[in-house]
Amino acid sequence: MSVPNGTPEGADARETVIGINFGNTFASIAVITKEGKAECIANEDGERQIASAISFHGEEILIGNQATPQLVKNSKNTIANFRNFIGKKFSEIPASAQESPTPSAPIIQHPSLPDTPAYAVEVTVPAPSPLPKSGFATSNPSSKPSTTNPTPLGTPASEPTIQTRHVTVHEVATIFFKSLLKSASDFLGKAPRGVVLTVPSSFNETQKAALLEVAKEAGANVLELVDEETAAASLLVDANSENDQGEGTDRTTLLVDWGATDLTISLLSVRAGLVHVLGSKNVPDLGTSRPGSIDEILIKFFAKEFTKKTGEALQVCPPTSSSARAQTKIVLALPHVKRSLTSATTSTKSTQLSVESLYGGIDFNAPLNRTRASSLFAPVFSRLSDAVKSLLESIDGWKDKGIWVDSIAWVGGGGCVGQGAGASTTLISAGVLGEDVQDEVLGAPEEVLSRGSALHALGLISLSKGYRTDVRDVRVTTRTIGIIIPSSESAEDNELGGQWIPTIVSETAIPARRTVVFAVDAAKGALPSSLPLEIWEATETVDVRVISAEVYSDAEEDEEPAEPTEERERGVKKEAYLGTLTVALSPAEAPKKGKKQAKKVEVKIGVSIDGAVEAAAREEGKEEWVKLLLAAPST
């Protein structure tokens, strides 16, 4: 027996929990594979990105990607971009928010429910069945048909009627959510045991409660509503796991969640598999569908290309009555263009926009490569750079703490553009981020939130306790705790008085414990019999040096002078001495020819939930530890 979309091997053996990202324009569903990884699944139409839209078409209700073509042919009965209205009163929805990027059923005040947003759509009501020829029906099988008013020809069949139906935002969302659950059930072969659902940062408590009610009414067992930062953090940690404990490299990551209606940027501290938010900023004006943002730039670009190729003027943004359908067709094709930018392997490889009968019956195809896209989006990337700079400056003491952004995680349709068109280059050239910043490898940006939600769901059911779900309200270290091996011989170590080994870096969630192992070489002669290790609190700094551009004597008079550049360099400043551990070293064996004498030292440092610091050290391979209980650090 076949199951729609196929049933993954081992589906019955694993926990059937799923993650759902219910976006304003697209939704996606992720499941846990038998290897414990999160993957997005396709619905019955083969779509992994499911359009958040429903259309009333005759007696049918079309959902998802089947509904979006109706925005061109049947827009007045097609509802899209409704997620953001969940839990809102009609009076709370501003006129600007009621404007849809594409023509669709307008949101109105429900005629009989006070202050309730709704949509008026036309539906086809089937005609009633005709009466039988023998007369009136009777429930008594032994009775004879009436002969008083016989109807030898029966009642003539009537035609279906078209009626206006008012559907609330809650009803629309419930219909759509039921379809998501059905797709998940068809894939798994049974109903999901639990669902973790993402919720945008812009939702208030009333909207969160309404979204939860929609999911429950649709039949979902909601394990938790998680903010988008938490969902992304779950995937970020899983994708960078390096050992059996799931602990990856400590780093600070800039999360860029770029959706259709807004942009949310967050700075995440990732420390040994634990994540917390240092700060976040919401920028509504940079949503991809906002005026002057990504979608409008692409619409105008492709309209201009159409005019170049055909000689037909195509007015867009705003369109005329004759070009409105053409603009809608371009909008519906943009998601493919944006996703393809991420998968382009080189700057010259092109993605294609293809639309049948775009305008005047003319089919249209146009390429867009990453280099051209980067030029098109330069003004938007500049605004992104300003937003990131503003976020960093809003974090208390970010300069004093020396916060260094190590990586960028791109999320959403705008994230596809940011990653594919090189927005990180703009952030670097503007001096907002350092040159060594890297893009996180998390897979398709539009799948990050649903996959992260599925991993979060797995964590919730796997651990009876100790699974932290909040990435905001946590205690963290404000300084780095590390080791200085005293030395007076190295010039570069003179300022610190020795070699610096960071152990528990700043912004690490507590309780925390770290272990470092390092080699001790014989600088001159034999190895020492003991090694003092100073434990310090330190501040990691970022030194910015402005380098003026060189002025050449043979430069043309009208040539614009080059702009100065910035160089960033990490530094360390000692803040508080906590104590010293002295490790005894055993006599070394005679070194082999050409090799130095060396011993390895293992050091463990832990910080308890109340801020107490404990350190222990030993020569690697020895049983005896030297321990020291230290004063609580600044937390």
Lowest mean pLDDT, pick from 149-158, 318-327, 578-587: 149-158
Within 10 angstroms of residue 409's Cβ, the number of other Cβ atoms is 25
Determine the average pLDDT of the residues in 145-166. Answer: 67
Determine the average pLDDT of the residues in 435-460. Answer: 91
- Helix extents (H) in 63-121: 70-73, 95-98
- Helix extents (H) in 311-367: 324-343
The helix/strand/coil state of 192 is coil
Residue 380 has pLDDT above 90, yes or no: yes
Closest Cα to residue 198, out of 58, 429, 57, 30?
Answer: 30
Structure tokens at 349: 């490889």
Place of tokens 């008026």: 120
Confidence of residue 506 (pLDDT cuts 50, 70, 90): confident
CA 232/CA 443 separation, integer angstroms: 12
Structure tokens at 521: 């070489």
The helix/strand/coil state of 2 is coil
Structure tokens at 393: 């400056």
Confidence of residue 66 (pLDDT cuts 50, 70, 90): very high
Mean pLDDT of the chain: 83
Phi, psi of 83 (to 5 degrees): -55, -40
Helices 294-310 and 324-343: crossing angle in degrees, nearest 10, is 110
Distance of CA 631 to the CA centre of its chain: 39
pLDDT for the residue 346? 57
Place of tokens 């991420």: 342
Structure tokens at 497: 């008085």
Closest Cα to residue 453, out of 15, 13, 5, 17?
Answer: 17
DSSP 232-254: HHHHHHHHT--STT-----EEEE
Q: Residues, the chain, total?
A: 635
Helices 324-343 and 412-420: crossing angle in degrees, nearest 10, is 60
The helix/strand/coil state of 42 is coil
CA 171/CA 339 separation, integer angstroms: 31
Extended beta strands in 376-507, E state: 407-411, 438-439, 480-486, 498-504
Closest Cα to residue 205, out of 88, 380, 284?
Answer: 88
Residues of the chain with CATH 2.60.34.10: 480-551+562-630
Residue 208 has pLDDT above 80, yes or no: yes
Residue 153 has pLDDT above 80, yes or no: no
Residues of the chain with CATH 3.30.420.40: 11-133+155-226, 244-439
Q: What is the pLDDT of residues 315-371, one digit of tens each?
A: 999 999 999 999 999 999 999 999 998 876 556 678 899 999 999 999 999 999 999
Extended beta strands in 480-625, E state: 480-486, 498-504, 512-521, 530-547, 565-584, 598-607, 613-619
Classify 11-133+155-226 by CATH class.
alpha beta
Lowest mean pLDDT, pick from 155-164, 362-371, 389-398, 447-456: 155-164
Lowest mean pLDDT, pick from 27-36, 334-343, 460-469: 460-469
| CB distance 427 to 388 below 8 Å | yes
Residue 127 backbone zone (phi > 0: left; psi -120 to 50: alpha; other: beta) = beta
For the chain, helix (H) and strand (E) counts, in that order, are: 13, 27
Helix (H) or strand (E) holding 386: helix 378-394
CA 516/CA 540 separation, integer angstroms: 18
CA 515/CA 614 separation, integer angstroms: 12
Residue 134 backbone zone (phi > 0: left; psi -120 to 50: alpha; other: beta) = alpha
| CB distance 481 to 633 below 8 Å | yes
The answer, as to whether pTM is greater than 0.85, is no
Q: Which amino acid is at 501?
A: I
Structure tokens at 415: 């994230």
CA 390/CA 387 separation, integer angstroms: 5
17-22 and 26-32 beta bridge pairing:
antiparallel
Cα 21-12-28 angle, rounded to 5 deg: 15
Helices 169-188 and 205-217: crossing angle in degrees, nearest 10, is 50
Residue 196 backbone zone (phi > 0: left; psi -120 to 50: alpha; other: beta) = beta
Structure tokens at 430: 């503007």
Confidence of residue 10 (pLDDT cuts 50, 70, 90): very low
Q: What percent of the chain has pLDDT over 70?
A: 78
Higher pLDDT, 529 or 295: 295
Closest Cα to residue 41, out of 76, 97, 70, 3?
Answer: 3
Within 10 angstroms of residue 266's Cβ, the number of other Cβ atoms is 26
- What is the CATH topology of the domain spanning 244-439? Nucleotidyltransferase; domain 5 (3.30.420)
pLDDT for the residue 8? 42
Structure tokens at 19: 């993650």
Residue 616 has pLDDT above 60, yes or no: yes
Q: What is the pLDDT of residues 170-191, one digit of tens each?
A: 999 999 999 999 999 999 999 9
Within 10 angstroms of residue 385's Cβ, the number of other Cβ atoms is 19
Q: Which amino acid is at 382?
A: S
CA 499/CA 256 separation, integer angstroms: 36
pLDDT for the residue 461? 79
Within 10 angstroms of residue 127's Cβ, the number of other Cβ atoms is 11
Residue 124 has pLDDT above 90, yes or no: no
CATH of domain 480-551+562-630: 2.60.34.10
The helix/strand/coil state of 79 is strand
